[in-house]
Structure 1
Amino acid sequence: MKITSIETFQGAIPLHTPFKTALRTVTVAETIIVKLTCEDGTVGWGEAPPTHVITGDSLASIQYAIHSIFKPLLIGESLSARERLFEKMEKSIVRNTSAKAAIDMALYDSIAQQANMPLHRFLGGFHESLETDYTVSVNRPEVMAQDARKYINDGFSVLKIKVGKDEIAEDIRRIQAIREEAGSDILIRLDANQGWKAKEAVRAIRKMEDLGLHIELIEQPVKAHDFEGLKTVTKNTETPIMADESVFSPHDAKQILEMGAADLINIKLMKAGGIHQAIKIAKLAHIYGVECMVGSMIETKIGITAAAHFAASQSNVTRYDFDAPLMLTGDLANGGITYNGRVIELGNEAGLGIKAIDERYIVET
């Protein structure tokens, strides 16, 4: 079945409250939506949010890559030769991973629909539902503790705490306040978003261990390029360390795994360039006996649905960070995954199960 058209739409949805990390503050979720149509009328959906400080992608660069690079390559091509499509797309432009991810999602959505299977089953079918954590934005300790209590009262049992923006002593006060509020039964994982240096990260983590704060894992404590620093932290602390921004590609994952630089890997479709490359990262990690998380940027339900279907298909993906749609004031997608508190149901619809987009959130350009 041949591809006949590729369209894009720019969307924007305000967040309930600002999302704050060591790298940025987000108040509106901006995104590019891809609609890929095949000659039999099958429609596949994809998404690419601009995350300048992580992927380097902007709204303009995403649009350019899709319309000027990928669209001429893919129009008229058959979905039955999908390996060739993904290879052509990967070789056509370096980086631009978010734009690649949006097209990749739409391709996989269309392919799974033609196979008449939900995408997670088409890819492997390991899980039928998932449980997401909820992110506590970096703020004053007392505010973060109040936020943590709210999310716990809403039914979330795993909290992802943003740190790394200020002095480490302040981060420790934040975690102490949250742990005191949360009690001992709630899992707490930290995300420093590259905010620490290796030696200070080791000191901080050891201090948290001595204080008995019981941190499940710490994500990306050092700069993305500092593989040796990441290894130093991993080898000198007991708390599991997760690589996030350090791993964009299978090549990055291979290097991290060979070095033993991290205990876990966070795979994001916007970093990997889509499901096709994300599967390679997961399989590499599986060979090394390393578990993975699948996370996301600030995305709408379109991108998170694709990420959730990928995550549910892989046996060594054991952690899920899919709370972004819950932070938004509206739902851009008709269909896709459904939330029951912290539980995400993937459903039985073919492909991603997305039927349409809500025009109220589309921005005229």
Structure 2
Amino acid sequence: MNHLINQIDIYQSPIKLKEPFVISLGAMYHAQNVIVIIHTNQGITGFGECSPFMTINGESMETCFIVGQYLAQVLKGKNPENIEECTHAMDKTIYGNSSIKSAFDMALYDISAQKAGVPLYQFLGGQNNKEMQIDYTVSLSNPEKMAADAKRIVDNGFEIVKVKLGHSKEQDVESIKKIREAIGPKIPIRLDANQGWKTEEALDILKALTPYKIQHCEEPIPRWDYMALPEIRRFSPIPIMADETCCDHIDAKRLIDLYACDLINIKLSKSGGIFKALKIVEIAKAAKMHIQVGGFLETRLGFTAAAHFALSSKNIVYFDFDTPLMMEEDPVEGGILYGEKGKITITDTPGLGASINEDFLLGLKKISV
């Protein structure tokens, strides 16, 4: 019997955060996610999730819900194991919309790995043999609150702190100074300016932050001004990680060819899913460049897929999977587990090994195709 998709369910899934998540692009009070569940005629069900971010990928929960219906109509009747064909079909249907496409991609990989009888990381050619220790993020605020938040994070057992920046030079430097004083000299600090610094001031800020032992800095300047990144990277004492400027493998090649970054941050919702993210990995691997895998405001479902993907390559060495811990509820069954010191574990269940609680789904807006 041919393996075919026979039904696709799409859900709007807003989840309240325990406290606002604030970056230079704005504040978030809820995760505004979309869940995609693909059913096949062989009784296999695949789960996917995306977390659209309007100011980064130009999508919202509402647009993903609508575009997802077009994608579902195109994929219905196709072989879910032919992920390349399904990807091309989605791209022919609509340009961009990488976030909602990634939810479908995730569900397709879940189905394919289940059919193969192996956990997704193994299906991707990886091994569950490396430690994945996550950071925990300090939201943008005043220096005193940011320092207090960082200390609380460390007191709760996390050993890596990520800090959102994007204010003025004076305030950002003061924030990092106070954070370093609060958490001591040994805890690694990672920065993310989310495009918040003016191009002409970014290098001065990076140099001013050097005494505080910074591991790396994500996206220091506006994404459209990427041609200025090579000079910033060349003279910056802090390694530069590309995030918003690197959505897909084409972006990755351009940035690497320009010597515009030291590191790349892959998010499945930026790349359009695992299929295209694997292409970024190959390009970074050829350049001997290390990778971080992160996300937006996905639940443990989305980050379970990210963790499986992170096990697929030795070049992936940084893991930014903290946002499920910021949510008021956890609707995921199975999936990654958060342990002491921010270390995560993943099961060997075939496929993703994660699903969404049925009672939670009953309360969501849904459409079936």
Which residue identity is paired with 1:48? Answer: C
Which residue identity is paired with 1:247? Answer: C
**TM-score normalised over the length of structure 2:** 0.95
Find out whether 1:286 has 2:258 as its counterpart.
no
Preserved contact between residue 199 and residue 233 of structure 1 (Cα < 8 Å): no
Preserved contact between residue 81 and residue 108 of structure 2 (Cα < 8 Å): no
User: Where do 1:234-249 residues align within 5 Å?
Assistant: 234-249=233-248
The aligned residue for residue 348 of structure 1 is 348
The aligned residue for residue 359 of structure 2 is 359
Which residue identity is paired with 1:294? Answer: V
Question: Identity of paired residues, percent?
Answer: 38
Distance 2:85 2:205 in 1: 47
The aligned residue for residue 143 of structure 1 is 145
Residues 38-84 of structure 1 deviation map (CA, whole Å, 9 limit, x = unaligned): 1111110011223100010112221122112x112211111343321
Preserved contact between residue 32 and residue 60 of structure 2 (Cα < 8 Å): no
Distance verdict in 2 for CA 1:155–1:81, change over 3 Å:
same
Greater than 4 Å deviation, 4+ residue runs = none
Find out whether 1:337 has 2:339 as its counterpart.
no
In structure 1, runs of 5+ residues without a counterpart are none
Distance 1:321 1:344 in 2: 11
Preserved contact between residue 6 and residue 36 of structure 1 (Cα < 8 Å): yes
The aligned residue for residue 54 of structure 1 is 56
- 1:190 deviates by 0.5
User: Where do 1:136-285 residues align within 5 Å?
Assistant: 136-164=138-166, 166-209=167-210, 212-285=211-284
SS at match of 1:185: coil
The aligned residue for residue 93 of structure 2 is 92
Preserved contact between residue 331 and residue 358 of structure 1 (Cα < 8 Å): no
The aligned residue for residue 126 of structure 2 is 125
In structure 2, runs of 5+ residues without a counterpart are none
Distance 1:126 1:91 in 2: 34
Distance 2:364 2:115 in 1: 31
Distance 2:360 2:72 in 1: 26
Distance verdict in 2 for CA 1:352–1:80, change over 3 Å:
closer
Preserved contact between residue 134 and residue 323 of structure 1 (Cα < 8 Å): yes
Preserved contact between residue 300 and residue 335 of structure 2 (Cα < 8 Å): yes
Distance verdict in 2 for CA 1:80–1:208, change over 3 Å:
closer
SS at match of 1:217: strand
Coordinate RMSD, CA, aligned: 1.3
Distance 2:73 2:146 in 1: 48
Distance 1:103 1:306 in 2: 12
Distance 1:99 1:299 in 2: 12
- 1:358 deviates by 4.8
